[in-house]
């Protein structure tokens, strides 16, 4: 019995706990390394108006004063962009003020024409020409309604066109 036990203990000593994927000798290690083909990849991105500070320092080593010149150029670009934005805003303000001015005067003239039409219709109606008075009133009201509908439709088309432009869609008429 003692012999059986010694054989069992010998067998347990020779059996090693190894992973089936672990290499057993150096040739297996080389095979695994070739199979895995391990690589290391590092990617770095930097966006901005100036080069990355590390790159800027390298440029400065090669060409002294480069960083100062780049900064001066970039500051001029920023100033120019600010001036252009201010100019564009002034133009937009003038355009909006002009549209408001035109709209006010358009309303005033429209009101004057409508009142003139109704006064003319009333004069015809009191001068024993009721059909002429009704016709002038109908034309006056029809004209007001037509202007209102045309203005509403044109504003709607303008909004749709702006939405198309802002969304980046091409104009269908082109």
Encode the chain in three state secondary structure. CHHHHHHHHHHHHHCCCCCCCCCCCHHHHHHHHHHHCCCCCCCCCCCCCCCCHHHHHHHHHHCCCHHHHHHHHHHHHHHHHHHHHHHHHHHHHHHHHHHHHHHHHHHHHHHHHHHHHHHHHHHHHHCCCHHHHHHHHHHHHHHHHHHHHHHHHHHHHHHHHHHHHHHCCCCCCC
Q: What is the reported pTM? A: 0.48
pLDDT, tens only, 40-63: 778 888 888 888 888 889 999 999
* Chain mean pLDDT for the chain: 80
Q: What pLDDT is stored for residue 88 in this prediction?
A: 95
Digit-coded pLDDT (tens) for 24-39: 666 666 666 666 666 6
Model pLDDT, residue 170: 63
Highest mean pLDDT among 13-17, 49-53, 87-91: 87-91
| pLDDT in the model for residue 6 | 43
143-173 per-position pLDDT tens digit = 888 888 888 888 888 888 888 888 887 654 5
> Residue 8: what pLDDT?
45
Predicted confidence band of residue 81 (pLDDT cuts 50, 70, 90)? very high
């Amino acid at each position: 019995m003692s012999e059986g036990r010694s054989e069992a203990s010998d067998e347990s000593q020779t059996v090693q706990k190894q992973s089936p994927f672990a290499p057993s000798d150096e040739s297996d290690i080389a095979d695994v390394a070739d199979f895995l083909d391990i690589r290391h990849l590092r990617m770095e991105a930097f966006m901005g108006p100036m080069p990355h500070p590390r790159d800027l320092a390298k440029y400065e080593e090669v060409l002294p004063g480069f960083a100062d010149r780049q900064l001066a150029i970039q500051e001029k670009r920023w100033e120019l962009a600010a001036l252009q934005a201010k100019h564009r805003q002034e133009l937009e303000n003038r355009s909006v003020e002009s549209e408001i001015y035109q709209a006010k005067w358009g309303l005033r003239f429209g009101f004057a024409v409508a009142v003139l039409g109704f006064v003319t219709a009333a004069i015809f109606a009191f001068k024993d020409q009721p059909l002429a008075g009704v016709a002038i009133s109908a034309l006056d009201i029809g004209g007001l309604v037509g202007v209102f509908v045309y203005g509403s439709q044109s504003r709607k088309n303008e909004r749709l066109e702006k939405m198309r432009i802002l969304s980046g869609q091409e104009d269908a008429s082109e």
